[in-house]
Amino acid sequence: MRTFSLSCKADGAEAHIKELITSAVTCGVQNLSLFLPKATLPSSIFTCSTLEKLRVQSGYFLKQPSSMCLSKLQVLTLSGVAFEDSDGEVVCQSVT
């Protein structure tokens, strides 16, 4: 799979959102664009060996992943996103 884009405005669809994203990662997605309400992103995004472009736009805090390895990543865009560590401290905000 080359490109996967997901835009969702409805709350309560978190299980479906995670399932769709996980399927895209499993299929070897190269370009991933996510425009989401509150949702927990699957950790597989942060270790996807095929991902070249990642764009996440949301407007809330995400938990910092325990590990990250994106060996082919060329473009990272985070808009309205902040990562928190396990103590709730912001460690990264809106990166382009």
Split into its structural domains, the chain has a count of 1
pLDDT in tens, the chain (96 residues): 899 999 987 667 778 888 999 999 999 999 999 998 766 778 888 899 999 999 988 766 666 677 889 999 999 888 877 777 777 777 666 555
Range of the domain at 69: 3-93
Number of H helices, E strands in the chain: 1, 5
Q: How far apart are CA 28 and CA 50, in angstroms?
A: 6
Helix, coil or strand: residue 30: coil
pLDDT at 36: 82
